Chain A
């Protein structure tokens, strides 16, 4: 075979791989990302409650990253999103509800996808610029459903009607939130 023909084939393969990569990637503009409309609550619809709080930071304010010591990152009362009712779609997990809520309320959120870690679940790295390790080495986001801390990832927890989801920031691996995980392990 002629040299240039082989080159052409190689070029086509590379172009195909790049195209494949682009197809698997979703680009969105800022306006597209933030939902302007969320499902209306009707009497028949199933709903859950969601809140996002970082009250523990207020007790450990000295440990907080200097850059984040502002009211727009850590509100005075520690409530980033007050308890709100959201429509539960069929098969929604805790992650889905959080994702929809932060988009609707234009709150910044970063996560590691389920395919990017060993636990097979999405991991919330930061909400409202408050990241893991932003307030001491044992800090990060965790969640509670109906007053209990599930021992697995947020994109694996299926919600049902009337559940109360709380996203809470801990500065001490959950001990400051009375997580009883440690007693049960012992």
Chain B
């Protein structure tokens, strides 16, 4: 995680907004497949390969559950597998479920990378002067889960050290965990009130108050922003012309490999893989510089 740290916050913010936007507004399997692969790779480069592989182990069962839930509620489609309470369960509905699950997981992974890159100070730097209250609120809420996770481990350890943590059976363990969760919620509420008070005491958001920012908008930032915006515009234009249209009901449409569609897939690939390129470039430069020392 080096390349994104060198950018002005605007660049990664726009980049992640663009890839998440493209991923969320399409059902085209190729676009989603490209987005998913790149999301996992980007996340792996930014947060660590081992951690990402481990999280995939959790993500896969969730994907399967989503894929199998859709055919329970959507019965359209010509290839009928069997009947459930008089309504058909179809192959098309299963495929659509798989498609949606890939979309949800890739958005999840994009957000994971986004979160690793856009720390609270970057977010406040972007929006602190425009909408101070909203910026603080968002940065607090976005930082909430990692903070809670850390706090959770602390409380867990403390409970174990106190000796009131049961390890006998699964049910007792769950009960202990619930107690830890209760303490965690109390802690979270208290800390959010304290943060608000403390920020007010510092005069945050007062008129005429400027904020210090270490970030500088350089030529590289401008180039990256231009690249992102241009590719997003190309994708939107091609999608508007119908290259991204896809349907699952009543029959699954065949995947189109015409000129426009190929251009769409290529631009989606370029956009999604831009983060990976930046990381690889940064890593190579880093290695080259190191070898000279």
Q: Give A contacts to B, CB under 8 Å.
A: 2-7, 9-10, 25-30, 32-33, 66-68, 73, 99, 108, 110-111, 113, 125-126, 129, 131
Please measure, in the bound complex, the distance between the C-alpha atom of A33 and the C-alpha atom of B86, giving whole angstroms. 7
Complexed CA–CA distance, A97 and B167 (Å): 59
Digitize B64-81: 1 where CB-to-A-CB distance is under 8 Å, 0 elsewhere: 000000000001101011
Alpha-carbon separation in the docked complex, A110 to B84 (Å): 11
* Nearest opposing residue in chain A for B166, CB measure: A3
Q: Chain A residues near B76 (CB, 8 Å)?
A: 110, 126, 129, 131
A-B contact pairs, 12 of them (CB 8 A): A3-B166, A3-B168, A4-B169, A6-B169, A7-B170, A10-B170, A25-B84, A25-B85, A30-B80, A30-B82, A33-B86, A99-B86
Is B48 in the interface zone, CB < 8 Å from A?
Answer: no
B245 closest partner in A (C-beta): A66
Shortest beta-carbon distance from A129 to chain B in Å: 4
Q: Which residues of A contact B249 (CB under 8 A)?
A: 67, 129
| Leading 9 A-B pairs by shortest Cβ distance | A3-B169, A3-B168, A28-B83, A129-B250, A110-B75, A33-B83, A6-B171, A7-B169, A7-B170
Q: How many residues of B contact A (CB 8 A)?
A: 23
The smallest C-beta distance from B18 to any residue of chain A, in angstroms, reads 28
| B170 contacts across to A, CB distance below 8 A | 3, 7, 10
Is B88 at the interface (CB under 8 A from chain A)? yes
Set of chain B residues within 8 Å of A28, measured between Cβ atoms? 82-84, 86
Query: A131–B80 Cα gap in the complex (Å)?
Result: 17
Helix, strand, loop or mixed for chain B's interface? loop
Name the residue among B80, B86, B253 with the largest chain A CB count within 10 angstroms. B86
Cα separation A33 to B85 with both chains bound (whole Å): 10
Give Cα distance in the complex from A108 to B86, angstroms.
11
CB-defined contacts of A25 to chain B, threshold 8 Å: 84-85
Question: Nearest Cβ distance between residue A83 and chain B, in whole angstroms?
Answer: 24
Cβ contact within 8 Å between A26 and B168: no
**In-complex Cβ contact of A113 among B85, B172, B253 (8 A):** B85
B87 at the interface (CB under 8 A from A): yes
* Contact yes or no, A10 B171, CB < 8 A: yes
From B78, B81, B168, name the one whose CB has the most chain A CB atoms within 10 angstroms: B168
Contacts of A68 in B (CB 8 A): 250
Q: For B88, what are the chain A residues with a Cβ–Cβ distance below 8 Å?
A: 33, 108, 110
